[in-house]
């Protein structure tokens, strides 16, 4: 859940843990600064905020699919499923939906916990695989029960069990946020039968029950590809927002791997390089070109190139911050949009950049004072815009096609 630098000192900015004793930050006090025992601290002031946020996110994620599944089940029986149209079977299918949602949310929170480790260790050049997590203040290794995503932080009251130092609320918030993203994309792309994926026809029947009984591996592969993209962009956003270094070699490796994956699996790109205005279903690419080239590499290359250019413009418009001995914000934004372009195609780049730019401008306008504006990280709006684009992808491509038809007369 949380981690420390070698020697037990806390990492700067993102990894720091505040100690209220004398107002001195942990890892920065002198030799005589001894943190007070955990028993002397009161309840963490942000515990209830995180609890309520997690409950609301889980409730929304579970209530909507449960209601939809029960309603659909009461109306008709999916073809081929040997059940009866009664309340008991409807409730059973609904419980399967809730269990599936809880499972996806749990896996997403575990991925968010690993993301916290990556955010802390990657800028320092440490291994993200080996080495146990420890308190950034006293260096005590984290017990397995305290390392449970979200719950571990809540059960500890947001403080180290040994030294009582405050544990940054960023850790459970990152875990809950990524879990919510995974849950939203899971229902949008997998449980729905791929109804949000453009051009290709959705699977029928759909629903969580059919996802469990008859896994649709193409949808699961696309979903995993998109979750990896969101998680990576989220990681870079957190590192850049904390004015820490994003290693260039790491970014280059990620772009290379994510760009080459569609060459082996062209169906990861449902949108071809050029979308004919009359295309309704099926991947359209010239028959003289193989799918791995036209649908795979060329889509990734075009999206990556456009994303890098637009990302530089986006960062310049939002203000370029240069962390010490690290990449500039412009580089981080360019890398994020280049990755989105490689995964979603070049058509997604202007949409995501425009939404993120408008959202950042609104946030700046809403904030009062220089201090508040400086605390707003434009990189996070790229993450939110990416998730929104994935959820609305089919309708965005339909709007593109309608605009082309209008221009062509």
Q: Which 3-state string (H, E, C) describes 280-320? A: CCCCCCCCCCCHHHHHHHHHHHHHHHHHHHHHHHHHHHHCC
**Euclidean distance between CA atoms 173 and 53, whole angstroms:** 9
**Euclidean distance between CA atoms 359 and 363, whole angstroms:** 6
Please report, in angstroms and rounded to a whole number, the separation of the first and last CA atoms in the chain. 56
pLDDT band at 402; cut points 50, 70, 90: confident
**Euclidean distance between CA atoms 294 and 166, whole angstroms:** 52
pLDDT at 50 (0 to 100): 55
Quick check: 54 pLDDT over 50? yes
Q: Output 60 or 166, whichever has higher pLDDT.
A: 166
Secondary structure class of 159 (helix, strand, coil)? strand
Question: Which of 236, 99, 125 is CA-nearest to residue 174?
Answer: 236
Query: Residue 25: what are its φ and ψ, rounded to 5°?
Result: -75, 145
**Euclidean distance between CA atoms 125 and 4, whole angstroms:** 13
Kindly state the average pLDDT of the residues 86-113. 81
Give tens-digit pLDDT for 173-203: 899 999 999 999 998 898 888 889 998 888 8
**Euclidean distance between CA atoms 337 and 47, whole angstroms:** 34
Are residues 314 and 337 in contact, defined by beta-carbon separation less than 8 angstroms?
yes
pLDDT at 80 (0 to 100): 39
Residue 393 is inside which H or E element, if any? helix 393-408
Quick check: 350 pLDDT over 90? yes
pLDDT at 76 (0 to 100): 44
215: left (phi over 0), alpha (psi -120 to 50) or beta: beta
**Euclidean distance between CA atoms 91 and 83, whole angstroms:** 12
**Euclidean distance between CA atoms 275 and 271, whole angstroms:** 7
Question: Which of 302, 223, 228, 298 is CA-nearest to residue 268?
Answer: 223
Secondary structure class of 269 (helix, strand, coil)? coil
Give tens-digit pLDDT for 140-181: 787 777 788 888 888 888 888 777 778 788 888 899 999 999
Which one of 61-65, 202-206, 234-238, 280-284 scores highest in mean pLDDT?
234-238
**Euclidean distance between CA atoms 182 and 148, whole angstroms:** 18
Report percent pLDDT > 90 for the chain: 26
Give tens-digit pLDDT for 362-384: 887 776 654 555 556 778 889 99
Are residues 170 and 154 in contact, defined by beta-carbon separation less than 8 angstroms?
no
Report percent pLDDT > 70 for the chain: 67
Q: Is the peptide bond before 205 cis (omega within 30 degrees of 0)?
A: yes
Quick check: 241 pLDDT over 60? yes
Task: Provide the 8-state DSSP code for 156.
Answer: T
Question: Which of 50, 22, 49 is CA-nearest to residue 36?
Answer: 22
Are residues 167 and 160 in contact, defined by beta-carbon separation less than 8 angstroms?
yes
């Amino acid at each position: 859940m949380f981690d420390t630098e070698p020697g037990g000192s806390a990492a700067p900015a993102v990894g720091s843990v505040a100690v209220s004793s004398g107002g001195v930050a942990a890892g920065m006090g002198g030799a005589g600064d001894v943190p007070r025992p955990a028993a002397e601290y009161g309840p963490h002031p942000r515990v209830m905020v995180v609890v309520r946020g997690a409950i609301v996110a889980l409730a929304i994620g579970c209530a909507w699919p449960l209601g939809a599944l029960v309603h659909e089940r009461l109306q008709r029986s999916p073809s081929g499923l040997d059940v009866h149209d009664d309340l008991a079977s409807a409730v059973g299918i609904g419980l399967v939906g809730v269990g599936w949602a809880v499972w996806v949310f749990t896996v997403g929170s575990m991925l968010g916990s690993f993301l916290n480790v990556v955010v802390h260790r990657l800028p320092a050049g440490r291994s993200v695989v080996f080495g146990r997590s420890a308190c950034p203040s006293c260096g005590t290794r984290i017990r397995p029960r305290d390392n449970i995503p979200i719950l571990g932080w809540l059960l500890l009251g947001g403080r180290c069990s040994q030294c009582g130092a405050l544990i940054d609320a960023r850790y459970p918030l990152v875990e809950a946020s990524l879990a919510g993203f995974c849950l939203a994309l899971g229902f949008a792309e997998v449980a729905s039968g791929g109804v949000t994926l453009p051009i290709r026809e959705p699977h029928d029947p759909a629903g969580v029950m059919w996802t469990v009984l008859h896994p649709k591996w193409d949808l699961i592969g696309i979903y995993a590809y998109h979750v990896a993209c969101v998680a990576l962009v989220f990681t870079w956003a957190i590192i850049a927002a904390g004015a820490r270094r994003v290693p260039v070699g790491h970014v280059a490796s990620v772009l290379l791997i994510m760009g080459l994956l569609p060459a082996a699996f062209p169906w990861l790109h449902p949108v071809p390089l050029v979308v004919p205005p009359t295309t309704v279903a099926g991947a359209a690419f010239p028959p003289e070109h193989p799918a791995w080239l036209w649908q795979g590499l060329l889509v990734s290359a075009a999206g990556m190139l456009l994303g890098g250019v637009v990302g530089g413009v986006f960062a310049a418009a939002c203000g370029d911050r240069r962390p010490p001995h690290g990449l500039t914000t412009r580089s981080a934004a360019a890398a994020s949009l280049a990755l989105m372009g490689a995964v979603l195609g070049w058509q997604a780049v202007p949409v995501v950049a425009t939404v993120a730019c408008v959202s950042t401008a609104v946030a700046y306008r809403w904030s009062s004072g220089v201090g508040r504006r400086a605390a707003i990280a434009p990189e996070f709006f790229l993450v939110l815009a990416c998730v929104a684009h994935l959820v609305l992808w089919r309708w965005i491509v339909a709007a593109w096609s309608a605009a082309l038809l209008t221009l062509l007369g």
